[in-house]
Structure 1
Amino acid sequence: MAQHSGHLEFILIPENKSFDSSFEVFLADTLESKQIHYNLRYQVYCDEMGFEDKDQFPEQMEIDAWDDSAVHFLVRHRKSGHWLGGLRLVFNKHDAFPFENLTQPYREISLAEREVSVEMSRLCVIKEARRFPAKRFAPYGLPEQEISEENDKIKSIYNYKNQTRSLMWGLFRAAAVYCAENNIDYWYFIVAPALAWFIRKEGFEFQQIADACEHRGLRTPYQISIENILANRLWQKDYKQHFSCYSDLEKEFAVPKRAAQS
């Protein structure tokens, strides 16, 4: 049931549709569901943006050494079942987070802090589900690139840009709820200036924790509390359904299959 590639048909979603009525978020708790995220990352980071060498991923799944220490989230369109994007939360591994390979924190992160923190990364949304290029909003995007006109050959799943943003907020909300349920208090993340501005503009409060560094453009690491994320006004009228487990989705498909064989 995993959809790893293929043409995504045009789907028009009216502006007044809520995130909860149009999309759903899943915790990728099976190998198959994690592979969906790896393939979405391949489409964005290898195929579209060229940030990763696609020759290193012949199976079209962008994966790295941190994935074994991470949990993954996926978002899909309810009606069509198309997988549109995802992100991961990386747990402390050998007393390190991914951003520490790029720049060093202003102060040492204690073991106690590491145990209640994760790093949010590999946020991605495929181009068919975006109004603007990935390089504008993705964490590893080029922050100063001018927004170009949408290519007529790309069928956008949206006709309003505010719905493009809702995919990211839906993933943020679900991942933050997961953290609250699992006694995780903080996120680290390292992003381009444009994305940091974009997140702060929505009322999220976060602090810089290390010097900016050069990594496919200028990147700055930040820390944000789960309490701050969950207190945001965005969640007052939408994003109420949090997330489901992919394994539960598999069970739903397994029942009619067994019935058909009996």
Structure 2
Amino acid sequence: MTESLAEIYKKYFEIYPQVDEAPEQLAEVYRLRFQVYCVENPFEDSSHHPDGLEKDPFDDCSIHSLLVHRQTSLTAGTVRLVLPSEDNPALALPINQLCREPLLNDLNLLPRSTLAEVSRFAVSKNFRRRLGEASSPSGVSTEWHEAQAREQGRKIPHLCLGLIQALVGNSYKYGVTHWSAVMEPALLRMLKRVGIHFINSGPLIEYHGWRQPCYAELAPMLSQVKLERPDVWELITDDGRYGQ
């Protein structure tokens, strides 16, 4: 019997959707972010993080996820979901510090109390180098798209999908219905290729390179994934555990 995409992925990676109460794993999150955002790509000033842990004020209201390579136990990737403030739903998300698009304040489109932000999407350079993707913090580059054009598929599904699974699971756990994000265009193209569609919420902005402000409504997004790529849907919903 042919293995499913989800089965193949689980052979290679362990997904830890929430490590906030696990100090050692949470420190791994911050260490990887320092490596990716301060060393490999000097987007953040390393002198502001002398302990080698990249943090910011939004971490206190975020759910942090970790991806670990099973065979080596090495940290492969991380992402956080910045939740709306329970005490102050009007508190701005990171995207509001970068964008002033009116759409972001349309409460009918993006209900503030259930809107969270996908942020600090990072993949270890050790894995990105192996896959020819070392030029991008998210592990998705022009080289990745060119490889996809040459091949019908890849034996190992892209690392990012495990982080998406963590985001989906945490969203259902915490009642999040919509995501906002500021993403690399290459990452958005990769996600679209596997059926995960975000909607642009404004023009490209210059922020550590060109980035696309965007959003997604979770339920219809997952329905579209199931229609276009049921194998990917099975993986990111943990075999249908989320998104019913």
TM range (shorter): 0.7 to 0.9
Q: State the distance in 1 between where 2:235 and 2:61 align.
A: 30
Whether 2:26 is the aligned partner of 1:28: answer: no
Query: What letter is aligned with 2:62?
Result: A
- Match for 1:182 among 157, 174, 177? 174
Q: Which runs of 5+ in 1 are unaligned?
A: 1-14, 149-160, 243-262
Shift in alpha-carbon separation, 1:106–1:210, aligned structure 2, 3 A: farther
Trace 1:1-262 onto structure 2 (pairs within 5 A).
Answer: 18-26=8-16, 27-30=18-21, 31-93=23-85, 95-107=91-103, 108-110=105-107, 113-130=111-128, 131-136=131-136, 138=138, 147=143, 162=154, 166-231=158-223, 232=225, 233=229, 234-236=231-233, 238=235, 241=238
Secondary structure of 2:166's counterpart equals helix
What TM-score comes out, normalization by structure 1 length?
Answer: 0.71
Per the normalisation by structure 2, the TM-score is 0.76
Q: Deviations over 1:121-166 (max 9, x none)?
A: 1011111112134433629x9x7xx649xxxxxxxxxxxx946753
Deviation of 1:74 after TM superposition, in Å, equals: 0.3
Distance 1:110 1:235, change over 3 A: same
Question: Offset of 1:81 from its aligned partner?
Answer: 1.9
Q: Distance in 1 between matches of 2:133 and 2:53?
A: 21
Partners of 2:206 and 2:119 in 1: CA distance: 17
C-alpha distance in structure 2 between counterparts of 1:201 and 1:236, whole Å: 13
Report if aligned partners of 1:103, 1:212 keep a CA contact under 8 Å in 2: no
CA RMSD in angstroms, aligned pairs only: 2.9
1:157-183 CA-to-partner distances (Å, cap 9, x unmatched) read xxxx94675321011012112212322
Q: 1:212, 1:219 within 8 Å by CA — same for their partners in 2? A: yes
Shift of 1:56: 1.4
2:149 alignment counterpart: none
Identity %: 26
Count of residues in correspondence between the two structures: 212
The alpha carbon displacement at 1:237 in A equals 5.3
Give 1:41 shift. 0.6
